[in-house]
Structure 1
Amino acid sequence: MHFAVNRDVPQPNDRLEPAFGLLDEIRHDPVYRLTYIWIGGSASPEGLADWNLRLGQRRADALTRLIGDQTGLSAEWFRTDNLGEDWTSFERMLASDRRIPKRDEVLEILRSTPDNEARKRKIRDLDGGQTWQQIIRELFPPLRNARMVIVYQRPKNDGIGAEAAFPAPLLRVAEQPLPAAGLPASPEGGCGCGKWLIAAKTNLLFDAALVANLGIEISPCTHWSLDIPVWYSPYNITSRRNIRLLAVQPEIRWWPEEALRGHFIGLHTHVAGFNIALDDYARYQDPNHALWGLGLSYGYALPLGRAQRWGLEFTLGAGFAKYRYDAYRNRENGQKFASGSDCYWGITRAGITLSYKWDLSRKKPKN
């Protein structure tokens, strides 16, 4: 049974009805005896390993529930295995598929690199990610599955039963399946909700301008996140230069692959109080009426390091900002000489941001 990317909701499958029919036939057969039903769940190797591990278990559980609901079989008839990222089937499929232009290089990486995360990095680095994206499109979809084997016996007087199995699924069982015991299933959700990622961030462009800032990004779902940067600089840079800000710019983001990795687009709003002097002529501040506006942005998040907890994010956005201002002479006790309001259209968000993230959905297996 196949699943959509990052999902554990079974897709329609014509092979299930014959399987249900065979189960019913075995259960009522006067000679053969049903022993158990083996269920294995797996995920394709893109994305975070911890998430894929949990996804494999959730898919095995989903197929188990579906069979139980359709047949009335209780939980003791099932044995489940969490196969995690199905690298074994991927290598077998790749070896027989000549559509992948760098197939031989990828096979060499698989055979010479035992660490799965290192495998991903090396394949992505082959040609700027083109081969990796083709593999995701053409080879990975069948790996997002749950498979089953029906085991039944024919009792004999000598106690030795002839064991048979339901015809093998398209993808064979991995040689070393990961144990399912103790691995908790994440809350069900069509978009991968339950995978909580949190990142602490600082925008290096504002740091370089001596504007203190700190942000937090929260992702409760695979493709969505909320970024909340805050700027607070109550100090003067020099006697006639200052960028005093108290501002916040929340942004909701959509990630086509997975949150906090790769490309994203965002919709942000901004609210800011300001007191700014950038030259000797004037100092501008808001008259107790905050600047506000909206904008759209595009960006790219690049994970760093072996554990990929650190990251760099590059983003640029445009929109509008409505504001009022009072202008003062830029000197000590300078008098106000103008007031006004305006609507700015242009760049509203820019950043080279350093981040560190935590996966709050990670749980250790029980002993």
Structure 2
Amino acid sequence: MTRTLALVESPVQLLNALEWAHRYAQGPGRGEGGGPPAAGLHGFSIAVLQPLDPVTRAQLAALAALAAAEGVRVTAYDPRGGAGGTRTRALTGLAGLTGLAGLAGLATRVARAPRLLLGDAFSGLIQALLPLSRAAELVVVDDGTATLELAALLREGRPLVRWHRQGRPSAAATRAARRLGPDPHRRLELFSSLAADPPPGALSTANQYAWTRERFGPPEVLPGADLLGSSLVETGVVTLDRYLDTVTGLAAAHQVGRYFAHRREHPDKLRRIAAATGAEIVRPQLPLEIEARRGPVAGTLLSFPSTVVHTLPLVLEGTGVRMKLCAVDADWLTPTASARSLSFLTDVSTSALSRHGLELISPVTA
């Protein structure tokens, strides 16, 4: 029987589900206060709820193949009905289920799983499935820096809505907050590599990326710098012109040879970056944590506020690679960016600087 069912929608979530499984396969210790013995990989299964974006689907396929090689059962579901013939082929060599029958089967699995692992507690689809669960244990793994916001919302008992979203919270977001809130009959675990303060009664377990470090690398370290791309333009938070100007300045000042594109970055934007900087545009096949660990990687990594300023220092510890963080200033923001945007990005930067000792690059002098 499936002891733990993971629901994931992105490569990062799938990677962190694997890290959770690896962590629990090592022994009985769980977080600060210990816990029940680990179940290991026996009875661990991952359900991939596929997105529409083809780049994300390709990364999920590559990472799902690695998971299957580790003996983890991975099943693909296509609730959004991907484009044409890609629907069942997106996770090559793995089971693919589409349509109402597939979703009905997933609903049954969610209802029966004693432990449910959530890759994105903000996801509308996962929030819709969550009320079906009777699991005595709920685990939330990192979905990037959104974990910081999730922990804060759970502490305050507020609906689970991402920081850059506008408008009235949905009923599902309100129900999800209650479902993940304090309950004497249910255990909540937060598995995170970030300095997220868990809500009262929740168990906090550190994600040290042990599986990634053991499985890959150490990498070959190259001269010069790599620039890590951001989707802040695509999510409507910062203006395209300000972002392009800063990227161009960073590339010239730090001898950037490669630009690692975020999976959501628009091709037209990437073409403009290539023309302005002369840098090679790299579309990673796997999450950056794995790409950087298996190498090659430049000796200096430049990044905007994002998840990787927290995760890559862990993954690359002891390799000699240095990270520099380019802060986002108020004049970067679009007129429609939420009031929370700048403070959230500042919090991401401040916590990474204090935890990992990164060098801060001013956006004015970048």
TM (norm. structure 2) is 0.25
More helix by share: 2
Give the structure with the higher percent strand. 1
